[in-house]
Structure 1
Amino acid sequence: MPQHAQKTPVCRACDGFAIAAITTGTRHRDGTRVTLHVACPACRGLGHTVPAALVSAGR
């Protein structure tokens, strides 16, 4: 079955996975791991990019 087309292009840097959870190696008191949530710097955590034709140039 064919997939639906994306309305906005997917970010090249993160392939649409805009926020990554990175473990620090330490644990909380309850045994769960401490994680940091880091956003993609290219798309600023959106997962998609704005087409160049839609970006307005200011003065």
Structure 2
Amino acid sequence: MPRNTPSPRVCSDCDGFPVVAITTGTRNPDGTRTTLPVNCPACHGAGTRRTAALARAGR
């Protein structure tokens, strides 16, 4: 029986793909390309965004 758990909010900036590999154009001695992993700046590599917590101010 399925549970009614809410799904996490997917990051709107990366659409759930938080880490990508970018090639630098150079090759390693074995012939493979050199890549750099880059995280999404909005969700910091998590793939989901947290909603802002409400803070009570004043009295």
Q: Shift of the alpha carbon at 1:6?
A: 6.1
C-alpha separation between the residues in 2 aligned to 1:34 and 1:22? 8
CA RMSD of aligned residues (A): 2.0
* Larger helix proportion of the pair: 1
Amino acid in structure 2 at the alignment position of 1:9: R
Which sections of structure 1, spanning at least 5 residues, go unmatched? none
Q: Shift of the alpha carbon at 1:51?
A: 2.1
Overall identity of the aligned pairs, in %? 54
Counterpart for residue 34 of structure 1: 34
**Number of residue equivalences:** 52
Which sections of structure 2, spanning at least 5 residues, go unmatched? none
Larger Rg: 2
Counterpart for residue 25 of structure 1: 25
Give the TM-score normalised by the residue count of structure 2.
Answer: 0.77
Runs ≥4 residues deviating over 3 A: none
Give the TM-score normalised by the residue count of structure 1.
Answer: 0.77
C-alpha separation between the residues in 2 aligned to 1:8 and 1:34? 33
